[in-house]
C-alpha cells in the first residue's frame, strides 16, 4: 500500500467535505446535534397610553346675538376712537359691541403696566383694566412715554409742545418706553390665556405741524415723533401684533400734513374730533379682524 497516496486521498475527501458539505459514500461522520433552544419569552403587553383629547379651538363669537368686548387703551389722543371702532365693528360683522374705554387723560405706558401687573392704580378706572382685558375680544392700544424713565438718558420732548427743539428724543431715550410697551403686551397676552383675541397697536398723530414749521423745529421734532412711533411698532412686532400708524395716516407719509385742516382735530388744537375717530376706525377695519391670539 502506498501510504503517501492513501494519506493524500484522505486529505482530498476532507477538503470536499469542507467545501461542498457533501459526504462521499461509505464515509461515516459523527456529529452532535445542538441542544434544542428554549423558546424566547415574549415581553408582557404594555398598557396603551390614553391620549388626551385635543380641545376644540375656541372661536370668536359670531352670528346673531354674538357679543364682542372692545377694550381701548390710550391717553386723550384716543378720545372718540373707541366709540367709532365699536360702531365700525358692528357695521362690518353684525356683532353687538360692548365698549370698555380706557382712553384717559395723560395715560402713561408705565401706569398701564402697573395696573395690569398689580391690579392697583391711583386711577380707580384703571384698576378695572385687568378684568376688562380678560373678557376682551379686541384690544387697541396707545399709551404715552412720559412715565417711562431711562435713568441714563431721560426722555425730554417738551420743547415740541412749545417752540423749541426736544432735548433728548433719540431712540436711546425711548429704551424704557419700548420695554414698558413690550411688557404691557406680554401682560395682556398672559391675561387672555390663549383665548382668541384681536390685538392692534397704534402711535400718536401730530396736531402741531404749523407750529413746528413756523419755529424751525419741524425736523428735530419730526424725528422725535418718528422714534416714538418706531418704539410702538417694534414692541408690537415682538408679538406679531398688527400696527396702524396714526402719524402716517393723519399727517401723511412725510408728516407735514396738518390734521386740523382735514377736520380730525378739535378747536382746542390737540384732541381728535368724531371725524378723526371715524377715520381711524375705517383704517382699522381695513386691516381685518384676524385674531392675533392664538
* Residue-wise pLDDT tens digits, 20-67: 344 444 333 333 434 444 445 555 555 454 555 544 556 899 888 999
If one compares 59 and 126, the residue with the highest pLDDT of the two is 126
pLDDT for position 64:
80
Q: What angle do CA 159, 180, 137 make, to 5 degrees?
A: 115
Of 226, 286, 214, 285, the C-alpha closest to 251 is 226
Check: CB of residue 103 under 8 Å from CB of residue 79.
Answer: yes
Of 144, 141, 140, the C-alpha closest to 155 is 144
Distance CA 216, CA 164 (A): 8
pLDDT for position 216:
97
For residue range 139-196, list pLDDT tens digits in order: 999 999 999 999 999 999 999 998 999 999 999 999 999 999 999 999 999 999 999 9
| Mean pLDDT, residues 104-126 | 97
- For the entire predicted model, the pTM comes to 0.80
- Name every residue whose Cβ is closer than 8 Å to that of residue 241 and which is 6 or more positions away in sequence: 185, 199, 200, 201, 292
Distance CA 291, CA 62 (A): 13
For residue range 215-245, list pLDDT tens digits in order: 999 999 999 999 999 999 999 999 999 999 9
First to last CA, the chain: 100
| Mean pLDDT, residues 118-132 | 96
For residue range 55-106, list pLDDT tens digits in order: 455 689 988 899 999 999 999 999 999 999 999 999 999 999 999 999 999 9
pLDDT for position 6:
35
pLDDT for position 294:
74
Bridge pairing between strands 96-103 and 198-202: unpaired
Placement of cell 375656541 in the chain: 58
Amino acid at each position: 500500500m502506498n501510504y503517501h497516496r492513501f494519506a493524500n486521498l484522505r486529505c482530498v475527501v476532507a477538503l470536499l467535505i469542507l467545501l461542498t458539505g457533501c459526504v462521499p459514500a461509505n464515509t461515516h461522520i459523527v456529529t452532535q446535534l445542538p441542544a434544542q433552544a428554549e423558546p424566547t419569552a415574549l415581553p408582557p403587553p404594555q398598557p396603551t397610553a390614553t391620549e388626551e383629547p385635543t380641545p376644540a379651538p375656541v372661536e370668536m363669537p359670531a352670528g346673531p346675538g354674538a357679543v364682542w368686548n372692545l377694550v381701548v387703551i390710550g391717553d386723550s389722543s384716543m378720545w372718540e376712537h373707541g366709540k367709532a371702532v365699536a360702531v365700525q365693528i358692528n357695521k362690518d360683522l353684525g356683532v353687538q359691541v360692548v365698549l370698555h374705554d380706557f382712553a384717559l387723560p395723560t395715560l402713561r405706558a408705565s401706569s398701564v403696566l402697573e395696573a395690569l401687573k398689580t391690579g392697583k392704580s391711583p386711577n380707580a378706572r384703571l384698576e378695572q383694566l385687568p378684568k376688562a382685558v380678560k373678557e376682551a375680544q379686541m384690544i387697541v392700544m396707545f399709551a404715552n412715554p412720559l412715565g417711562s424713565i431711562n435713568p441714563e438718558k431721560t426722555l425730554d420732548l417738551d420743547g415740541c409742545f412749545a417752540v423749541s427743539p426736544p432735548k433728548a428724543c433719540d431712540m436711546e431715550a425711548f429704551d424704557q418706553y419700548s420695554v414698558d410697551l413690550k411688557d404691557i403686551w406680554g401682560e395682556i397676552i398672559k391675561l387672555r390665556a390663549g383665548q382668541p383675541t384681536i390685538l392692534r397697536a397704534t402711535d400718536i398723530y401730530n396736531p402741531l405741524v404749523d407750529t413746528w414749521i413756523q419755529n424751525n423745529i419741524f425736523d428735530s421734532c419730526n424725528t422725535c415723533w418718528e422714534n416714538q412711533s418706531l418704539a410702538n411698532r417694534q414692541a408690537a412686532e415682538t408679538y406679531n401684533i398688527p400696527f396702524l400708524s396714526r402719524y402716517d395716516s393723519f399727517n401723511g407719509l412725510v408728516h407735514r400734513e396738518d390734521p386740523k385742516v382735514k377736520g380730525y382735530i378739535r378747536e382746542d388744537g390737540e384732541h381728535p374730533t368724531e371725524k378723526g375717530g371715524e377715520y381711524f376706525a375705517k383704517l382699522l377695519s381695513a386691516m381685518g379682524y384676524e385674531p392675533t391670539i392664538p
